[in-house]
Structure 1
Amino acid sequence: MTRADKTEWALIIAFPVLIAAALLLPSWMVNYIQVSLGTGLVALGVMIQMRAGLVSFGQGLYFCVGGYAAGMAGKFLGITDFFVLLVLGVVAALVISIALGFLLRRYREIFFAMLSLAVSMILYGLLSSSEGLGSTDGFNLPVPTYLFFAPEGDAARMTLYALTAALTVICAIVLNRVLRSPLGMINEAIRENELRVEYLGSSAHYAVHVTYVIAACVSSIGGVLWALSLGHVDPEMTNWTTSGAFVFVVILAGTGNIIAPLVGTFLLEILRVYAVELSPNTWQMILGTVMLLTIIFLPKGLWSLMGRKPKAQGPSPDGAVQPGE
């Protein structure tokens, strides 16, 4: 069994584990798991772009587009069905990312990062000044229904949680296969040497464009799930601090495995909770310190700890066994 197959089996096994966690853990912990699953999908969108050497500091754009598309459909059109809201969020992100992709696919490194950030902040400014959408306060979403099924109380929370877990697992498996596909291989080649990719007959611009669109759609799914979980959207979803947090997660967790950003998102949520409790006024310093230490001692992220193997011992020239040889 290959490493990729093991990853997919681990994701499949994770689904019943997540359901069991919802039944056994305290409600506050379950809420953090549910929220982190939504934001974890956005981190996955950042990760697959980083595999192509692209750092998106504007991924909050599609996180926000998904949430606001679902929210506006509920607020103005009275749509409450979960699946319809999800489709609307993805379609909105798909249309916007295809259009913006023609511009962004031409840029690399700091230019890609800053341009993606600029586009995200344009949306932030528009939403913050829009009184019809609640300005900086945002607005609430309706309680979702599910194909004319409208659970209440604990049943409603459990239904949304189960669907969030299922969609997260499905998206992670799909992205894992994308990374193993020719597109994924081309992206890694683009990161190493884009000029050689062009010489071999593949279009780097096309590969980057497709990857950008896939990342946008996955991030919009995360935005819809996150918004429905909290029942609220606001412009902070597309602020630079939100987008920066997604990049922070990927750096913290690493890009070695599709599971890493999902675990890293949950760890970041828990770290933020305890950092705020420990130091309410300077909790950002704690997060910054953790990130700095991770970059220094684990440049490939926390997931690199999973891939480390103990060094084999071998005989030295004089016959003695030397550690690390």
Structure 2
Amino acid sequence: MNSLRRTDASLLGLLAMLCAAAFIAPSWLMSLLAVALAKGLVALGLLLLLRAGLVPFGHALYYCLGGYVAGLGTPWLGIRDTLLLLALASLLSGGVAFAAGFLMRRYRGIFFAMLSMALSMILYGVLLKSQSLGSSDGFTVGRASFFAVQTAGVGAIRSVYLLTAVVTLLAAWGVSRYLKTAMGHVGPAIRENEVRVEYLGCSPSRVIHMEYTASGALAGGAGALVAILVGQVDPGMGFWMTSGEFVFIAILAGAGGIWGSLAAAFVLEGIHALAFEYAPQYWKFVLGATLLLLIVRFPSGLSSMLANRAGARS
């Protein structure tokens, strides 16, 4: 209980700092933080699967699906409110993940990773050939509105940033609570010995199916938030390199807990921004080399470093 209370207090403190930053930070910094928080939202979903020894290489499917749902909600369904678009994107992405979960739950290891990537590339190929959806160029997403109040300029960026911060930290709170439950402890047991988990009367396939569905819903919500923030969607959101970026964040974070996932997302986005700013021709090299050094230095992920510091303070 003490650890949960500390986590709750830390999340509230982080949320307070992020909300305060909305009124003093420039628009470019709010955009950077919002994208990092959205990627951290995807990483929280991947954390559930990573603890079970599964590395999905196709979560760009749900990220892209959420973005397109947010973009099409206004012209197709007449939905203009950002909160409703976010809810619709999460529900639809979670529903697709639930349907795909009946297939994904049967596979493990490299087969799980490759099958998830194949599903993502199917969506990418369909969107790439869809002339009505802008083909490779995508299309523009409408401006954000909250409770029929239209926002624009810095106000639009600030509102989406604050929404992203609240949604991500609420998801982090939910994931942290889930990991402390009996069901949350089944994931590492599945990774170590799936047969023994079955002997204990728990179905590993059902647990994986449930966690895969939840991770898909989180990724869909993240895609919707980024689409509304950027104001543009395109098939690149569903490309395998996008999935690879999410997997990289999950590996850099480790399977220790929620703080590693959030920290890894901020680290990756920060290094990406700095490398692109100061070495635009070599930013990929700088980004890859820096992240490689981090993984070599922290082979168990950033969560292990955070856990060691917390243990030292105790």
Q: What TM-score, normalized to structure 1?
A: 0.91
Q: How far apart are residue 98 of structure 1 and its match?
A: 1.2
Partner of 1:41: 41
Q: How far apart are residue 291 of structure 1 and its match?
A: 3.0
1:281-320 superposed matches below 5 A: 281-308=281-308
Q: Distance in 2 between matches of 1:9 and 1:178?
A: 17
Q: Does 1:214 align with 2:214?
A: yes
Partner of 2:162: 162
Partner of 1:252: 252
Which of these two proteins has the greater Rg computed from alpha carbons?
A: 1
1:26-61 deviation line (CA, Å, top 9, x unaligned): 321111001111121111111111011110111111
Residue 25 and residue 311 in structure 1: after superposition, are their counterparts in 2 closer, same or farther (change >3 A)? closer
Matched length: 312
Q: How far apart are residue 309 of structure 1 and its match?
A: 5.6
The alignment partner of 2:193 has SS state of: helix
What letter is aligned with 1:62?
Answer: Y
Q: How far apart are residue 311 of structure 1 and its match?
A: 11
1:108-127 superposed matches below 5 A: 108-127=108-127
Q: Which runs of 4+ in 1 moved over 6 A?
A: none
Q: Distance in 1 between matches of 2:269 and 2:295?
A: 19
What letter is aligned with 1:28?
Answer: W
Q: Distance in 2 between matches of 1:307 and 1:77?
A: 46
Q: What TM-score, normalized to structure 2?
A: 0.94
Partner of 1:267: 267
Partner of 2:186: 186
Q: In the alignment, is the contact (CA less than 8 A) between 2:31 and 2:157 conserved in 1?
A: no
What letter is aligned with 1:19?
Answer: C
What letter is aligned with 2:107?
Answer: Y
Q: How far apart are residue 4 of structure 1 and its match?
A: 3.3
Q: In the alignment, is the contact (CA less than 8 A) between 2:143 and 2:152 conserved in 1?
A: no
Q: Distance in 2 between matches of 1:310 and 1:199?
A: 35
Q: In the alignment, is the contact (CA less than 8 A) between 2:253 and 2:301 conserved in 1?
A: yes
Q: In the alignment, is the contact (CA less than 8 A) between 1:73 and 1:85 conserved in 2?
A: yes
Q: Does 1:92 align with 2:92?
A: yes
Partner of 2:240: 240
Q: How far apart are residue 256 of structure 1 and its match?
A: 1.5
Q: Distance in 2 between matches of 1:171 and 1:307?
A: 20
What letter is aligned with 2:272?
Answer: R
Q: In the alignment, is the contact (CA less than 8 A) between 2:260 and 2:306 conserved in 1?
A: no
What letter is aligned with 2:250?
Answer: V
Q: How far apart are residue 218 of structure 1 and its match?
A: 1.0
Partner of 1:175: 175
Q: In the alignment, is the contact (CA less than 8 A) between 2:51 and 2:191 conserved in 1?
A: yes
Q: Distance in 2 between matches of 1:311 and 1:195?
A: 33
Q: In the alignment, is the contact (CA less than 8 A) between 1:75 and 1:142 conserved in 2?
A: no
Task: Return 5+ residue gaps in structure 2 as ranges.
Answer: none
Partner of 2:3: 3
Q: In the alignment, is the contact (CA less than 8 A) between 2:56 and 2:116 conserved in 1?
A: yes
The alignment partner of 1:65 has SS state of: helix
1:171-193 deviation line (CA, Å, top 9, x unaligned): 11011111112221111110111
Task: Return 5+ residue gaps in structure 1 as ranges.
Answer: 313-325
Q: In the alignment, is the contact (CA less than 8 A) between 2:263 and 2:302 conserved in 1?
A: no
1:215-240 deviation line (CA, Å, top 9, x unaligned): 01111111111111111111111111
Q: In the alignment, is the contact (CA less than 8 A) between 1:75 and 1:141 conserved in 2?
A: no
Partner of 2:24: 24
Q: How far apart are residue 22 of structure 1 and its match?
A: 1.8
Residue 130 and residue 268 in structure 1: after superposition, are their counterparts in 2 closer, same or farther (change >3 A)? same
Q: How far apart are residue 211 of structure 1 and its match?
A: 0.5
Q: Give the aligned CA root-mean-square deviation in angstroms.
A: 1.9
Q: Distance in 2 between matches of 1:172 and 1:59?
A: 18
Q: How far apart are residue 95 of structure 1 and its match?
A: 1.8
Residue 79 and residue 140 in structure 1: after superposition, are their counterparts in 2 closer, same or farther (change >3 A)? same
What letter is aligned with 1:137?
Answer: D
Partner of 1:318: none
